[in-house]
Amino acid sequence: MSKSVLIVEDEAPLAHALSLKLQHEGYQTAIAESGQACLDALQGQQFDVILLDLVMPVMDGFQVLEHIQHMPKRPTVYALSNLSQQDDEKRALELGAQKFFVKSNTALATIVQTVKEA
């Protein structure tokens, strides 16, 4: 059975590119374009990994991480952001993210490899 990855990203081209690369590696993927859409998806399906953008409209990634902390079976979460501020990275990791990637400085292949190692 292949692992499932939820991509929570409001930048559609990036979300689509990540989805295609992960599907090529054999993963099942779903895309949520907001924090609320992520929580809605988690109500209906269990995901092994979440790639979570931190800056999104309506509900940001930090709020999503707070909700995920209270889930009985927590997926592995990797935070993605274009903000490279240490405070954001520290906060994301404190809220349960396993790793923090600056999107503009990280190749998609690096993110895919990290998911494979999860």
Predicted confidence at residue 57, as pLDDT, reads 79
**Sequence ranges of the domains in the chain:** 4-117
pLDDT in tens, 35-51: 999 999 999 899 999 99
> Distance between CA atoms of 24 and 37, rounded to whole angstroms?
24
The Cα-based distances of 69 to 9, 35, 63 in angstroms read 19, 14, 10
Label residue 58 by pLDDT band (50, 70, 90): confident
Q: Which residue has the tokens 């895309």?
A: 31
CATH number of 4-117: 3.40.50.2300
> Distance between CA atoms of 63 and 75, rounded to whole angstroms?
16
Does this model's pTM top 0.85? My answer is yes
Host H or E run for residue 6: strand 4-8
pLDDT in tens, 64-118: 999 999 888 899 999 999 877 889 999 999 999 999 999 989 999 999 999 999 8
Predicted confidence at residue 85, as pLDDT, reads 81
Residue 90: Cβ within 10 Å count: 11
